[in-house]
Amino acid sequence: MSERRSAGPNRFKALLGAVGVMRAAALALAAGFALNCGALAETFAGAGVIGNRAAIRDTATGPAASNVVSAIAARLEQQGDAARLVFELTGQVSASAFPVVDPYRIVVDLPEIAFLIDPDVGRPAPRGRRGRDAAQAPSPLVQSFRFGRFAAGRSRVVIDLARPAKIIRAASEEQQSGARLVIELEPSDASSFAAAAGEHARLTPPPPAAQLDSQAPAGNSAKPIVVIDPGHGGVDVGAAGVHGEQEKAIVFDFARTLAAKIEAGGGLRAILTRTDDVFVSLDDRVRFARQNDAALFVSIHADTLDEPSVEGATVYTASNLASDADAARIAETENFADQAAGLEHKEDASGVDGILVDLTRRETRAYSRLFAATLISQWKNAASLNKNPSRSAGFVVLKAHDVPSVLLELGYLSSEQDLARLTSPQWREQAADATAQAIEAFFAARERRAQAVASSQRAR
């Protein structure tokens, strides 16, 4: 659903032709030279390798220790019906590959790698158009691939398939200078693919819930907690602009700016669901908010639409039925985040029935709508709003029954006007100010309401 640029033949040749330059720079980094990401970006851009310096900053985050291997180029080779995906590395790594169904994907787990590669080289298909429908269309075996950090100390490659495939090999091999990771695939059939995926799931214990670092200052437990959730991260890039701008980076910058402004107000605590470029599942984001006793949860996003003329911010609240078709499509996009990172699709089994839970959910959603209205009111004078800024849909990340939650789409990377705003530091400061003011106004109104209720009860 999120459109990404294709890496054209000339650009791809430039990547391959500059492997020597990139390998030299990456090996220097591995040897312990004090190169920062900005200097590395200058080196690569000067060699005509990467036209988007932000891509290096976002995909190369994480510890720059001397033992971290770098990936400096990638290519996909079609060999008849088979496919071969090759990553050029600065050292050998262990690799574990397995299939995942619904949609058809191959997942390759790796130790943490610094991916110094333009993410567009993977040419991902629009999210939401993968899976069975896409697999029935005449297309190469590999539709697209993406890569990035998956968890602390771990990276992942996710390959979207046009049809079922069999893993022939997934291993690194030493080269004259550096190494390379080779992933070889051959066509398979649906039943064999499902059997292999089921066997892997049966033998592999489910991953533990992410241990997310709240970064919350000590000694302020009396202050209401606002959880700011920068969407996507790591292997899940999210949407992308026409020049390679990444949703995960744009929303992370906004979230950090917003958190700082909330903290500066003095009356609230702000903590983030992720503090660097790493993947966090939707369930873990919700769990993080509840475990930290959040009084408000704000998920930040910036998606794309098929209509480039559509622009402006939109505030979404949770509902069982989408308010309109566009809201349903956006929810489908955002709810695909776990699958984009290679996780298995699972039905939502988190719903808890009961009168008290239902009453809590109703009150929570009422507060969510109150905050949404407050946020829209503040944005009217500070930033651009969508023509229909208040919407609702079944977002997984908004499902906490006891935490007022909204999803703020800052704008659309498919809109030239929004893209200019979203990449402007001045606009970010202005929009974050409006959002912080809305949050403070919401808590002030909530406190007045609580005092009114308490006064009414005393009067009885």
pLDDT in tens, the chain (460 residues): 443 333 333 333 333 344 344 444 444 434 333 333 333 333 333 222 222 333 333 444 444 445 789 999 999 998 888 999 999 999 999 999 999 999 999 999 999 999 999 888 886 544 443 333 333 333 579 999 999 999 989 999 999 999 999 999 999 999 888 899 999 999 999 999 999 999 998 888 766 655 565 555 544 468 999 999 999 999 999 998 888 899 999 999 999 999 999 999 999 999 999 999 999 999 999 999 999 999 999 999 999 988 899 999 999 999 999 999 999 999 999 999 999 999 987 765 555 567 777 888 899 999 999 999 999 999 998 788 999 999 999 999 999 999 999 999 999 999 999 999 999 999 999 999 999 999 999 999 988 877 777 777 777 6
For residue 160, give the CATH number of its domain.
Answer: 2.60.40.3500
Q: What is the pTM of this model?
A: 0.80
254 and 287 in a common domain: yes
296 and 346 in a common domain: yes
437 and 379 in a common domain: yes
E strand intervals along 237-331: 269-272, 296-301, 313-318
41 and 141 in a common domain: yes
229 and 181 in a common domain: no
Is 212 domain-assigned? Answer: no
pLDDT the model gives residue 449: 79
Is 145 domain-assigned? Answer: yes
174 and 279 in a common domain: no
Q: Phi/psi at 120 (nearest 5 deg)?
A: -65, -15
**Which residue in 349, 323, 348 sits closest to 335, CA to CA?**
348
197 and 244 in a common domain: no
Is 14 domain-assigned? Answer: yes
For residue 410, give the CATH number of its domain.
Answer: 3.40.630.40
Query: How many other CB atoms sit within 10 Å of the CB of residue 248?
Result: 28
Is 457 domain-assigned? Answer: no
183 and 286 in a common domain: no
290 and 341 in a common domain: yes
Q: What whole-number distance in Å separates Cα of residue 411 and Cα of residue 125? A: 21
The SS3 of residue 272 is strand
Is 97 domain-assigned? Answer: yes
Is 218 domain-assigned? Answer: no
pLDDT the model gives residue 4: 36
E strand intervals along 136-235: 142-151, 154-161, 165-174, 179-187, 225-230
Number of structural domains found in the chain: 2
- Determine the distance from the C-alpha atom of residue 79 to the mean position of all C-alpha atoms in its chain, rounded to a whole number: 32
pLDDT the model gives residue 3: 38
Is 211 domain-assigned? Answer: no
Say which amino acid occupies 191: S
pLDDT the model gives residue 459: 73
Q: What is the DSSP string of 80-131?
A: TTEEEEEEEESS----EEEEETTTTEEEEEEE-EEE-S-GGGG-PPPTTS-S
147 and 193 in a common domain: yes
Is 3 domain-assigned? Answer: no
Last residue of a domain, one of 171, 203, 235: 203
Find the domain containing 327 and state its range. 225-451
Structural tokens at position 369? 């709508």
394 and 301 in a common domain: yes
289 and 173 in a common domain: no
